């Protein structure tokens, strides 16, 4: 039972890199790892230099496979303890089973296996693990921590999608967080949308780290248990959880795959610019993400 609780807590590292650390360090500390007050944790071999996790966010609709609403490649450098989140717009034009299509269709056609293969072929990257996240779990987390403050850049109003936000700084509850993340009516459409998703994930992570929210950990774990599916091992989760505080302190680097909207055969795609992506990445990040610039 304790192992299941630890696993549930640490899976959260995939959703936002802080909750798993809290669970490991303060709530469900592993046997034999008690720590005296004021004693620093020893340096350890994390078991990897670079670790890439594909995060697939679903919109919560039922069915065997839906199109992945959010695609984020989380690249973790085990030596520098730095994390890079690369958002891949869901309309990115790629080849799936030999035919051109939008990248979010890969999950619909073949689940996480085809999604991983498609992104591997597209970027030339080895994906170590995957995590499928119902993005509504972020809504539940936002409600649990009392909402998050954002600066809404413009009027967001799409009544058919239950989106109704005024511009300006404000605290959004879970329902409005989802609206904020789904809105596509800005000048850069899905690119701005991807940036807002990354923003919300980090804001929720920061809120979870505040002391007053520690008592809510059991509820946080339950949300994650119900909304996250991953093939990560407990050992890998523990390693990632230990990186979390350093990663958050150094700042998680967030990027969106550069490119441009382009109409091809009557359909709008995001035409990626991999050369521009290379310019955005530091040498460390290029080594970690291993982008295959053709």
Q: Could you tell me if residue 207 is inside a domain?
A: yes
> Is residue 294 domain-resident?
no
Question: Which DSSP string do the residues of 202-267 spell out, in sequence order?
Answer: HHHHHHHTSGGGGGGHHHHHHHHHHHEEE---HHHHHHHHHHHHHHHHH--EEEE--EEEEEETTE
Is 173 contained in some domain? yes
pLDDT tens for each residue of 159-209: 988 899 999 999 999 899 888 988 888 877 777 887 887 788 777 767 765
Residue 29 sits in a domain of what CATH number? 3.40.630.190
In a domain, 80, yes or no: yes
Using an 8 Å Cβ cutoff, are 80 and 46 in contact? Answer: no
What's the farthest any 2 CA atoms get from each other in the chain?
A: 65
Per residue in 123-151, pLDDT tens? Answer: 988 899 988 877 667 778 888 888 989 99
The domain tally of the chain equals 1
Q: For the whole model, what pTM was predicted? A: 0.72
In a domain, 221, yes or no: yes
What integer pLDDT is reported at residue 172 of this predicted model? Answer: 94
In this model, does residue 1 exceed pLDDT 70? no
Per-residue confidence (pLDDT) for residue 67, from 0 to 100: 66
Q: Is 40 part of any domain?
A: no
In a domain, 55, yes or no: yes
Domain presence at residue 254: yes
Percentage, residues of the chain above pLDDT 90: 27
Show the domain range for 60. 2-35+45-289
């Amino acid at each position: 039972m304790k192992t299941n609780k630890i696993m549930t807590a640490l899976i959260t590292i995939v959703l936002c890199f802080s909750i798993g650390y809290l669970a490991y360090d303060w709530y469900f500390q592993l046997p034999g790892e008690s720590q005296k007050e004021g004693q620093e944790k020893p340096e350890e071999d994390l078991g990897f230099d670079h670790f890439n996790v594909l995060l697939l966010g679903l919109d919560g609709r039922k069915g065997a496979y839906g199109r992945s609403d959010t695609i984020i490649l989380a690249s973790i450098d085990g030596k520098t303890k730095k994390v890079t989140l690369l958002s891949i717009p869901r309309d990115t034009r790629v080849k799936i089973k030999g035919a051109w299509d939008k990248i979010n269709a890969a999950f619909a056609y073949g689940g996480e296996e085809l999604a991983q293969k498609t992104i591997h072929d597209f970027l030339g990257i080895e994906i170590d693990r995957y995590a499928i996240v119902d993005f509504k779990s972020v809504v539940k987390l936002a409600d649990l921590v009392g909402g998050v403050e954002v600066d809404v850049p413009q009027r967001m109003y799409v009544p058919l999608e239950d989106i109704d936000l005024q511009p300006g700084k404000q605290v959004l509850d879970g329902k409005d967080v989802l609206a904020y993340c789904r809105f596509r009516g800005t000048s850069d459409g899905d690119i701005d949308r991807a940036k807002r998703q990354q923003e919300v994930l980090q804001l929720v992570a920061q809120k979870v780290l505040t002391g007053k929210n520690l008592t809510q950990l059991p509820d946080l774990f339950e949300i994650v248990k119900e909304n996250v599916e991953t093939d990560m091992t407990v050992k890998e989760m523990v390693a990632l959880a230990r990186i979390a505080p350093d990663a958050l302190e150094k700042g998680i680097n967030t990027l969106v795959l550069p490119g441009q909207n382009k109409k091809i055969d009557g359909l709008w795609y995001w035409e990626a610019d991999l050369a521009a992506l290379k310019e955005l990445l530091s040498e460390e990040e290029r080594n970690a993400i291993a982008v295959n610039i053709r």
